[in-house]
């Protein structure tokens, strides 16, 4: 249930409403909006007795939230969330492009690619220091050394950094170095990691699991938000289907459908969806056309020698083309 406050409700009145919600045995999370504040009640199993709440100063009305997810729902917050990180805004209309290699392999590799993607207009550099790999024998990432390289990339290029935390053990250190913390597809339902991600101070990029429904993705985002971190960016990265010409199937309908259900921004990763660089530009065009708030794209200057995901990594010049295509779509 949502307790909607009057336009002129004071902070004290909001605080009193939260206290009353706690007295009832639930939690109240304030959701400040452009027009008015609402307090979302979470933790209730059934209907909430709202007669006392309705008599309180500053309270306008109560509205039932019908969905199982509350904080991520558009019923709770009608305006789209805009996440400001440095001088970029995710969800504000201008697509935010995050690009870089699958994995940080060396300082030279990361800096070379970062200089290219910056030149072509990317605002965020992606690169995994901790890699979740299907095989335990595949390259697992450089770990902390990779994070130090990412810091150098930020210092030298001014690009923001998105990199993945794969478990509890590396979340803290990733938080220290990253501007945006990625939670990968394989961890979308790692609920204890999601709860911890809800307690960090950095925005979270939450990737959809490859067999996860949209409701499950939104419930995963709810785990993060219910711990207090409201800065969640969703990411569609392809789901597993019977189609056998691509690594995954990019679910473009997820974008309008999530935009309807939730106020959170959503970006698209065409690289892991396609599995082949030839399809990355057309899929990116589609993603922007259906309203994605940005892209997460793999780029490598020497993909045939990449330690992971070379087949789906764009050459730098191709990334330049992609940026031009996106620019054209926006006019």
Q: Is 239 in the site for ligand PEP (CB under 6 A)?
A: no
Q: Which of residues 91, 100, 146, 184 is near ligand PEP by CB under 6 A?
A: 184
Please state whether beta strands 37-42 and 88-90 pair in parallel, antiparallel, or not at all (unpaired). Answer: unpaired
Give yes or no for residue 294 binding ligand PEP (CB under 6 A). no
Which of 132, 143 has the CB closer to ligand PEP? 132
Neighbours of 246 (CB within 10 A): 16
Residue 184, contacted partner among Mn ion, ligand PEP, none, CB below 5-8 A by kind: ligand PEP
Q: Report what 236 binds from ligand PEP, Mn ion, none; CB cut-off 5-8 Å by kind.
A: none
Residue 309 is a binding residue for Mn ion (CB under 5 A): yes
Nearest to 249 by CA among 286, 291, 292: 286
Q: Are 326 and 97 in contact (CB under 8 A)?
A: yes
Torsion sign (Cα): 111, 117, 122, 128: negative
Token pair listed for 168: 């509890």
**Residues 284, 322 contacting (CB under 8 angstroms):** yes
Alpha helices (H) in 24-82, listed in sequence order: 51-54
Among 102, 181, 204, 221, binds ligand PEP (CB under 6 A): 102
Which position among 128, 141, 294, 303 is part of the footprint of ligand PEP (CB under 6 A)?
128
SS3 call for 295:
strand
Residue 108 half-sphere exposure toward CB, CA atoms < 13 A: 2
Query: Which SS3 state, helix, strand or coil, does residue 28 take?
Result: strand
For the chain, state the CA radius of gyration: 21
Which parts of 195-214 interact with ligand PEP (CB under 6 A)?
Answer: 207
Between 6 and 139, whose beta carbon lies closer to ligand PEP? 139
The partner in contact with residue 222, picked from Mn ion, ligand PEP, none with C-beta cut-offs of 5 to 8 angstroms by kind, is none
Report if residue 102 touches Mn ion, rule: CB under 5 A.
yes
Q: Which is nearer to Mn ion, 159 or 273 (CB)?
A: 273
b/e per residue, 24-36, with b = 16+ CB within 10 A?
bebebbebeeeee
| C-beta nearest to ligand PEP: residue | 184
| 237 interacts with ligand PEP by CB under 6 A | yes
Q: Does 185 bind ligand PEP (CB under 6 A)?
A: yes
- Of 70, 259, 272, 277, the one binding ligand PEP by CB under 6 A: 272
Give the binding site for Mn ion (CB under 5 A). 102, 309
Give the binding site for ligand PEP (CB under 6 A). 102, 128, 132, 184-186, 207, 237, 269, 272
């Amino acid at each position: 249930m949502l307790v909607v406050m009057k336009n002129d409700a004071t902070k004290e009145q909001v605080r009193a409403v939260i206290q009353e919600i706690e007295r009832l045995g639930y939690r109240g999370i304030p959701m400040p909006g452009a027009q008015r504040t609402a307090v979302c009640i979470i933790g209730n199993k059934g209907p909430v007795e709202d007669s006392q709440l309705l008599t309180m100063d500053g309270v306008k009305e109560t509205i039932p939230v019908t969905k199982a997810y509350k904080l991520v729902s558009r019923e709770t917050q009608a305006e789209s969330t805009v996440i400001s990180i440095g001088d970029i805004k995710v969800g504000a209309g201008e697509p935010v492009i995050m690009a870089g290699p699958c994995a940080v392999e060396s300082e030279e590799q990361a800096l070379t690619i970062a200089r290219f993607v910056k030149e072509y207009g990317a605002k965020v550099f992606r690169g995994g220091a901790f890699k979740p790999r299907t095989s335990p024998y595949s390259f697992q990432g450089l770990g902390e050394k990779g994070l130090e390289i990412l810091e150098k990339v930020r210092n030298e290029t001014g690009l923001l950094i998105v990199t993945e935390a794969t478990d509890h053990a590396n979340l803290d250190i990733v938080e220290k170095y990253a501007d945006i913390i990625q939670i990968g597809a394989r961890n979308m339902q790692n609920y204890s990691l999601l709860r911890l991600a809800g307690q960090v101070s950095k925005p979270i990029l939450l990737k959809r699991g490859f067999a996860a429904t949209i409701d499950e993705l939104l419930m995963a985002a709810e785990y993060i938000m219910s711990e207090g971190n409201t800065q969640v960016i969703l990411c569609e990265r392809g789901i597993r289907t019977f189609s056998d010409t691509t690594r995954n199937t990019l679910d473009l309908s997820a974008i309008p459908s999530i935009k309807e259900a939730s106020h959170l921004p959503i970006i698209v990763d065409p690289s892991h969806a396609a599995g082949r660089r030839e399809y990355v530009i057309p899929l990116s065009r589609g993603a922007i056309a259906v309203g994605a708030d940005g892209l997460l794209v793999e780029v490598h200057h020497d993909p045939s020698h990449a330690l992971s995901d070379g087949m789906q990594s764009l050459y730098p010049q191709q990334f330049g083309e992609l940026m031009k295509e996106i620019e054209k779509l926006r006019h």
